[in-house]
Amino acid sequence: MYKILYNNEVAKGIYEMRILAPLVARSAKPGQFVILIIDEKGERIPLTVVDTDPIEGWVCVVVQSVGHSTNKLTALKESDYIRDFAGPLGKESEFVHKTLEELKDKKIVFVGGGVGAAPVYPQVKYLSERGIRTEVILGFKSAEYIILEKEFRMLNAAVHICTDDGSIGFRGLVTQKLKLLLEKEHIDEVVTIGPMIMMKNVSLLTKEYGVPTVASLNTLMVDGTGMCGGCRVTVGGKTLFTCVDGPEFDAHLIDFDQAMSRQNIYKDEEKHSCRLDGEIK
C-alpha cells in the first residue's frame, strides 16, 4: 500500500499528488513514468513522474480528472492509500546520457500542452540543475487551466505562456509561438509533450525548419509492460511499443494519425463508465 501525502487541485480539474514511494523516488529519471492501481478492482493508470524527493521518499504526479479511474483517484484524501505504485518504467530522456560538454551549447526548446506541461517539468529541471538554459512554450485553454507556471519560472529557463483565449500571455497556439522563435533564432532540438494533435503539428512545423524533434507518447500507455499491445505505434515504418521502447520517439518518424486513432479505441467504454458513475451518485 502506498500513502498519499498530498493532493491539491492546482487548476480546473487538475490535481497535483505526492505519493510515498521511496524506491521509485530514488531511481526515477526524466521521461519515465509509473503505473498505479487504486484498489483491487482498479485499472492501471499510467502517469509520468513530475518530480521526486529521494530523501523524503515521495513521487509527484499530476492527474487530470477526466474519467472513471482518474475521478476516483483525485477524490482520495491525504493519508489515504492506493494499492499499487510501480516504476520507474519506460526509457529515460536521451539527454540524460549526454555529457555537459555535449549539452552546454545546445539550444533546446520544450513545447508542452495542457497537462503535458507536467512531464516537461522534470526535463527542464534536470537541465536547469546542470546549468543548461532552455526555452519553454506552454499552451493552455485559458488562465484557469495553467499549471506549474511558478515552478517553471524558478528554473533556469525562458518561459512563454500561451492561451487559446488570450486570458494570459501569448494569444494563440504553441505552434504559432514556436514558429516565431524558429524564424528569429537557431534551435538545435525541440521536445514536445501534450495532446497528440498538438505534437503532430509541432512535428510538421519543425520538419519544415529541419530541427530534430522528440515527442512523448505517454498518453497511449495502458499496462506499462508491452504485453497488452494497446500502445503499439509505428515509428519509421516499424511497430514499437510506447511503454517499453519509449515513451519518447523521433517525432518526425511517428505515424501520428495511427496513434490518434488508437487513442480513441476505448472512448465509448469510458463514456459508459462515467455515465454509470453519475447514476450511482
For residues 55-90, one letter each, b for 16 or more C-beta atoms within 10 angstroms of the residue's C-beta and e for the rest, the string is: eebbbbbbbbbebbbbebbbebeeeeebebbbbbbb
pLDDT band at 271 (very low <50, low <70, confident <90, very high): low
Show me where the domains of the chain are located.
Answer: 2-89
- Percentage with pLDDT > 90 across the chain: 61
36-76: pLDDT as tens digits: 999 888 888 888 899 999 999 999 999 998 888 889 999 99
In words, the CATH class of domain 2-89 is mainly beta
- pLDDT tens for residues 190-231? 999 999 999 999 999 999 999 999 999 887 766 666 666 667
Please, which residues have CB within 8 angstroms of residue 68's CB and are 6 or more apart in sequence?
A: 270, 273, 274, 276, 277
The pTM of the full predicted model, rounded to 2 decimals, is 0.87
pLDDT for 114 beyond 70: yes
Q: Omega into 122 within 30° of 0, i.e. cis?
A: no
d(CA 168, CA 140): 10
Three-state SS for 8-59 is: EEEECCEEEEEEECHHHHHHCCCCCEEEEECCCCCCCEEEECCEEECCCCEE
As a whole number, the mean pLDDT across the chain is 87
pLDDT of residue 227: 64
